[in-house]
Amino acid sequence: MRPSVESALDAVAATADRYSSAILIQFALQASVIVVVSGGTAPTGTVKVDVSNDQPLSGTAPTNWITLADVDVDISDNGVYVIPKFDLCYMYMRVWYDFTSGTGTLTARVKTNGM
């Protein structure tokens, strides 16, 4: 697998919990996430990463997710945030925004590196 960049959350409203689609990462060994928050009134919350080892049937999404401990970033205002490089050994990942308050727009891009 060559390095790739995926747009996990693309300019979503930061006004409620938001989940990306499942990202297939079966050959990825590491990932990082860059989050850009803009507009609105000081959105606050946490961006987190879930993983799954489900082997779903063709055309279906994974259903069993677990949030990785200590792989998150607190959002406290408009700006650019990072979840630094972390190790992977899973089939799928997704990025999600755990909303607390405020409004704005949130974009999260995932970079993976692997075999």
For residue 81, the one-letter residue type is: Y
In Å, how far are 43, 63, 87, 102 from 106, measured between CA atoms? 9, 24, 24, 12
Give the start-to-end residue ranges of the domains of the chain.
4-114
Q: Kindly indicate whether the domain formed by 4-114 is annotated with CATH number 3.40.50.720.
A: no
Phi/psi of residue 63, nearest 5 degrees? -120, -20
Lookup: tokens for 23: 């990202």
Per-residue pLDDT of the chain (115 residues; tens, 9 = 90+): 567 898 999 999 999 999 999 999 989 999 999 999 999 898 999 999 999 999 877 778 899 999 999 999 999 999 999 999 999 999 999 999 999 999 999 999 999 998 7
